[in-house]
Amino acid sequence: MKKLLILLLTLVHIALFSGCTPLYEIRGDSPLLDANLTTFLHKWRTDTITPVRNGTYSNVLVNGNPKNKTVALTFDDSPDENNTYKLLDILNTHNVKAAFFMIGGTMRDGNISVVQRTDREGHLVLNHSFSHPRLSDLNESAIISQLDRAAARIETVTGRYPLLCRPPYGSINPLVIDCVNQQGMTTLLWSLDSLDWTLKDPDAVVHNVLSNVRNGDIILMHRNRTSVASLSNIIEQLKKQGFTFQRLDEMLGIKAYR
């Protein structure tokens, strides 16, 4: 009887979870990082992923399906009048579509045209807050204001209201996730940190990505000179390894816009 009960519980577990996408830990490392930053990153990654894995946070996505040899490129902190254009040129050359998590408050003056170009060329223009604060330091009304103002600005510029957001610095807590969910949005993190925000050597960024990439990875990059200098090599080498680049919403099978 006991063996039968164990068998039944096992079958129930398989039925419930076999269709779920396994949750990756966040990877990305380099011997060029100092010990303090390495320790900080490992702790932050554990503290961030554990509540997602345990179900404390809902509607938070970290990676795609590990069964599919696909990856999605994501870029934070655009727009600007220099590096964002260069990233778009590189993506266009390699026929790759990406997701750009943009700061609403910087969508003004000359930056408007790069936002419109990003959308026009088939990339995603998504929510990265209005002024790039740590949302986990804010109260409920301030968090909602950051999300709503950024989404409204994106809709004004592109005609599309984004349903996907990435909190600046990946800084989340239960209140942040609740506010995102209340606004009908989904929180998008990442499973592979390119470290382009701290590594100034493009070759080190490329090595980090190629050494840590897995099927279904959401790759974090930024609109900076290091990402511009490393992007072509990353795309070319991953394609040689048999990876297909998919736009974030297509890889995850979710709606990007309302």
Q: Are 237 and 114 in contact (CB under 8 A)?
A: no
Report whether pLDDT(20) > 70.
no
Going by their DSSP bridges, the two strands 186-188 and 60-61 should be labelled as parallel
Tokens 């096992």 belong to which residue?
Answer: 10
Considering its fold, how many domains does the chain have in total? 1
pLDDT, residue 13, reads 34
Classify residue 113 as exposed, middle or buried by CB count within 10 Å of its CB (0-12, 13-18, 19+): middle
Does residue 63 sit within a domain?
Answer: yes
Does residue 1 sit within a domain?
Answer: no
- Residues 6 or more apart from 244 whose CB is under 8 A from it? 69, 70, 71
Does residue 15 sit within a domain?
Answer: no
- Residue at 191: amino acid letter: S
- Residue 13 CB neighbour total at 10 angstroms: 10
Does residue 4 sit within a domain?
Answer: no
Helix (H, G, I), strand (E, B) or coil at 74: strand
Does residue 119 sit within a domain?
Answer: yes
What gap in Å lies between CA 180 and CA 190, rounded to an integer? 17
Report whether pLDDT(68) > 50.
yes
Smallest Cα–Cα separation from 221: which of 29, 62, 37, 76?
Answer: 76
Domain that holds residue 200: 27-252
pLDDT, residue 110, reads 83
Q: What is the DSSP string of 39-74?
A: HHHHHHHHHHHHHHHHTSS-SEE----TTS-EEEEE
Report whether pLDDT(2) > 80.
no
Q: Are 97 and 120 in contact (CB under 8 A)?
A: no
Condensed to tens digits (0 to 9), the pLDDT of residues 78-137 reads: 999 899 999 999 999 999 999 999 999 999 888 999 999 999 999 999 999 999 999 999
Does residue 97 sit within a domain?
Answer: yes
Condensed to tens digits (0 to 9), the pLDDT of residues 196-227 reads: 999 999 999 999 999 999 999 999 999 999 99
pLDDT band at 21 (very low <50, low <70, confident <90, very high): confident
Does residue 202 sit within a domain?
Answer: yes
Condensed to tens digits (0 to 9), the pLDDT of residues 228-242 reads: 999 999 999 999 999
Tokens 């050597």 belong to which residue?
Answer: 201
Q: Is the dihedral of CA 111, 115, 121, 125 positive or negative?
A: positive
As annotated, the active-site residues are 76, 222
CATH number (domain holding residue 187): 3.20.20.370
Does residue 16 sit within a domain?
Answer: no
Q: What percent of the chain has pLDDT over 70?
A: 92
Mean per-residue pLDDT of the chain: 92
